[in-house]
Structure 1
Amino acid sequence: MSRPLRSVGVDFVDSAPLRLVFSARMSAPPGEVYRALADDVADWPRWFTSVTAARPTGGRTGREVRLRGGVALRETVLAADPGERYAYRVDEAGAPGVRALVEEWLLAPDGIGTRVRWTFAADGSGPFRFALRLGRSGMGRAFRDAVRALDGRLAAASA
């Protein structure tokens, strides 16, 4: 059952009680990476295996996402800066204990490629925060696998 979360802004990325930050390098340029994140939302399940379904809503101002394990999320896009940043807030979640959640993808040129930094900023109950800390390495692995898979897809598309 989905329930509403606290409405926070993009600044929550810097002030959240729990912040998990991961980074990786991609060979694709920032503009291509941004398009895959922000414009091709429905393709996320093809490269991010934690995502089983995704679709833009509200004329691309929101998203509906389903995760492995059946968790459903309704999100609002907070920042869509082409080639630089894509951030969204979770407005409703079917996960226990979460109170507020923002994810931010920062893209920076790195040679001819891109340095991608993903921040998972959250607030929630003690057990929720404990579970996230415990799952940090798994989330990092999922992020790195997703970035690698996306990079492969983008390279194949441009070949």
Structure 2
Amino acid sequence: MARRLRPVGLDFTEDAPVRLVFTARTASAPDGVYRALAEEVEGWPRWFGAVTLARPTHGGAGREIRLVGGVRFQETIMAADPEQRYAYRVDETNAPGVRALLEEWRLTPTGSGTHVRWTFAADGPAPVRLALAAARPGLGHSFRSAVRALDRRLTDRRGADQ
């Protein structure tokens, strides 16, 4: 059963009770990474293994996401700053116990690609906080695997365009 979560603003990435931050590097430029995150939402399942369905909603102002295992999210896009940042707040989910959830992807150009930082900010009762802390290694692995797969996809696409 889906539940409404507490609406939070972008500052939640700094003051959430649970803040998990992961980083990775790509050989791809920020414009390609941003496009895959924010403009090609339906493509997420092709590079993010935990995602089984991703589609824009509300004319692109929101997203519907489904994960392996059946977790579902209805989201609102909170920031879409081309080549810099993409953030979304979960408004509704069937995940038990979560009270608030916001994710932010920050993109920083490097001399040879992009530094990607993903912040997973959440709130919930103590058991949820403990579960998220315990899930840190798995979430980090999922993120790094997704960024590697996305980078391969963008590199292959770039090669096909030349």
RMSD: 0.5
Q: Whole-Å Cα distance in 2 between the matches of residues 33 and 59 of structure 1?
A: 21
| Other-structure match for 2:154 | 154
CA deviations over 1:18-68 (Å, ceiling 9, x no partner): 100000000000011000000010010010011110000111110000011
Q: Whole-Å Cα distance in 1 between the matches of residues 72 and 55 of structure 2?
A: 12
| Other-structure match for 1:29 | 29
Q: SS state of the match for residue 59, structure 1?
A: helix
| Other-structure match for 2:6 | 6
TM-score (norm 2): 0.97
Q: 5+ residue gaps in structure 1?
A: none
| Other-structure match for 2:116 | 116
Q: Whole-Å Cα distance in 1 between the matches of residues 80 and 55 of structure 2?
A: 16
Residues 34-113 of structure 1 aligned to structure 2 (within 5 Å): 34-113=34-113
| Other-structure match for 1:126 | 126
4+ aligned runs moved over 3 Å, structure 1? none
Identity of paired residues, percent? 62
Q: Whole-Å Cα distance in 1 between the matches of residues 66 and 128 of structure 2?
A: 19
Q: 5+ residue gaps in structure 2?
A: none
Q: SS state of the match for residue 152, structure 1?
A: helix
Q: Whole-Å Cα distance in 2 between the matches of residues 50 and 129 of structure 1?
A: 20
Deviation at 1:126, TM superposition (A): 1.1
CA deviations over 1:126-152 (Å, ceiling 9, x no partner): 111111100100000000000000000
Q: Whole-Å Cα distance in 1 between the matches of residues 15 and 78 of structure 2?
A: 16
TM-score (norm 1): 0.99
Q: SS state of the match for residue 8, structure 1?
A: coil
Deviation at 1:112, TM superposition (A): 2.8
Q: Output the amino acid matched with 1:139.
A: L
Q: Whole-Å Cα distance in 1 between the matches of residues 68 and 136 of structure 2?
A: 16
Number of matched pairs: 159
